[in-house]
């Protein structure tokens, strides 16, 4: 089966993978309430309105909004008191949005209650009925207190109630009750990571694994009380050790609408040699003792009881980069001196920037990987061809869909978003 799947995907790419999609109905069904089979999720980063100058309006003008089923808004945090809070209220609901940055071209009026990204998400949903927005909780820098918050039944109930109250009931601090109601259709849990170390300073304990299940049960209960249509999703890691340390997979998936699984950061500039950021299949030439791939991650979850239709595969709209790669050849699996310079952070850059970067491109169809090498810098990233190959895999395996981190890193035409949509609809 594995060889057949590899060969099918390779052949599909060779003839032009965009033709692989099942023909769309006469009118494309662009949102889940209108019958979509696959989830097409993208994260929108709260801080993008600053240096990146990326706004909710850009999701519309790129054409991406009509091709998505879900937008995950990143991030809300959990504080030391075990409650949900906004990590940037100014960006979330206080910043007056000018007309040129507004989804409908209308500036926020002086004194109106709801401004910022949340009001723009509300406008975007009005233009695209059925498009869902979820508040994503945690992330790399916002997961410090999750373990403490869910340690007891009382703590789990308190955290769930605070999250529903703030983000779904819309009781935003400094505003009238219910000001933010109707923006979010559910909650996405991005606790990185239960039971294993992640960002420095995070609280981690062995009980996290069981408590994560118990918290999803309690949160699902409170969501049902608020509105049974509310969705509950989670972002889950690659790597069997992280999965086994932090998640009772079969039980957790019973509480989730679906889960997005990590399909990127499989290798990065923290490694001494170059490698693939998000390869679809394991590279047979990979010299590392532990070998990662999207396919291996999917199989890890399936064998632990996750239903295929609830697994949504993470797709990177960015690349991982190394510098000081001077051994020649194609640069793959060669020694590096450190992370390559990036636009926003060393060792990482957006697809829209990498697509224009000089250097020779290489592609391994069997592995489902693409990279750039100029004799010194090596960048592993997804382009439309690898994205379509992954979308074909998702379709052939009967999985739930795709998730992109993050929408601001796609180009102004939404090339990666469009590539996914060409197959997953």
The reply to whether omega before 366 is within 30° of 0 (cis) is no
DSSP letter string, 131-175: -EEEEEEEETTS-TTHHHHTSSHHHHHHHHHHHIIIIIS---TTS
20 neighbors 421 (Cβ within 8 angstroms):
no
What's the token pair of residue 229?
């249509």
> Strand locations in 324-418, DSSP E?
338-339, 348-350, 360-364, 369-373, 378-381, 401-405
What's the token pair of residue 18?
């965009």
Q: What residues contact residue 151 under an 8 Å CB cut-off, 6+ apart?
A: 205, 207, 211
| CA 202 to each of CA 78, 97, 115, 150, 253: distance values in angstroms, whole numbers, following the listed order | 12, 34, 32, 14, 24
Strand-pair partners of 360: 373
Catalytic residue ranges: 192
What's the token pair of residue 295?
């396919």
Euclidean distance between the first and the last CA atom of the chain, given in angstroms as a whole number? 24
Q: What is the enclosing helix (H) or strand (E) of 416?
A: helix 415-423
Cβ burial, residue 51 (10 Å; 0-12/13-18/19+):
exposed
In whole angstroms, give the CA distance from residue 410 to residue 292: 24
């Amino acid at each position: 089966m594995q060889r057949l799947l590899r060969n099918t995907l390779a052949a599909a790419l060779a003839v032009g993978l965009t033709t692989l999609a099942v023909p769309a109905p006469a009118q494309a069904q662009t949102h889940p309430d209108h019958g979509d089979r696959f989830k097409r999720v993208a994260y929108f980063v709260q801080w993008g309105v600053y240096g990146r100058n990326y706004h909710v309006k850009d999701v519309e003008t790129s054409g991406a909004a009509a091709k998505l089923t879900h937008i995950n808004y990143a991030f809300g945090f959990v504080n030391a008191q075990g409650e949900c809070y906004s990590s940037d209220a100014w960006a979330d609901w206080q910043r007056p949005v000018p007309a040129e940055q507004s989804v409908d071209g209308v500036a926020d009026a002086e004194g109106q209650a709801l401004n910022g990204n949340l009001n723009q998400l509300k406008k975007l949903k009005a233009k695209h009925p059925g498009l869902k927005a979820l508040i994503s909780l945690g992330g790399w820098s916002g997961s410090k207190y999750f373990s403490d918050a869910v340690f007891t039944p009382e703590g789990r109930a308190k955290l769930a109630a605070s999250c529903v109250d703030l983000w779904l009931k819309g009781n935003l601090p400094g505003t009238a009750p219910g000001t933010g109601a109707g923006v979010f259709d559910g909650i996405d849990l991005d606790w990185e990571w239960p039971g294993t170390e992640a960002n420095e300073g995070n609280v981690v304990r062995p009980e996290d694994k069981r408590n994560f299940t118990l918290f999803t049960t309690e949160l699902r209960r409170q969501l049902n009380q608020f509105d049974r249509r509310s969705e509950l999703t989670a972002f889950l890691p690659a790597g069997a050790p992280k999965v086994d340390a932090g998640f009772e997979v079969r039980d957790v998936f019973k509480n989730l609408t679906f889960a997005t699984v990590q399909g990127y950061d499989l290798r990065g500039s923290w490694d001494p040699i170059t490698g693939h950021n998000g390869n679809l299949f394991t590279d047979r030439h990979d010299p590392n003792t532990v070998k990662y791939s999207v396919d291996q991650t999917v199989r890890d979850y399936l064998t632990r009881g996750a239903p295929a239709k609830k697994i949504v595969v993470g797709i990177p709209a960015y690349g991982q980069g190394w510098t000081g790669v001077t051994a020649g050849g194609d640069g793959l699996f060669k020694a590096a001196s450190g992370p390559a310079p990036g636009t926003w952070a060393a060792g990482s850059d957006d697809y829209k920037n990498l697509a224009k970067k000089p250097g020779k491109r290489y592609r391994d169809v069997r592995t489902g990987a693409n990279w750039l090498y100029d004799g010194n810098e090596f960048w592993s990233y997804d382009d439309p061809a690898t994205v379509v190959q992954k979308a074909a895999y998702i379709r052939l395996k009967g999985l739930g869909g795709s998730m992109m981190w993050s929408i601001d890193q796609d180009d102004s035409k939404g090339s990666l978003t469009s590539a996914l949509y060409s197959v997953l609809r």
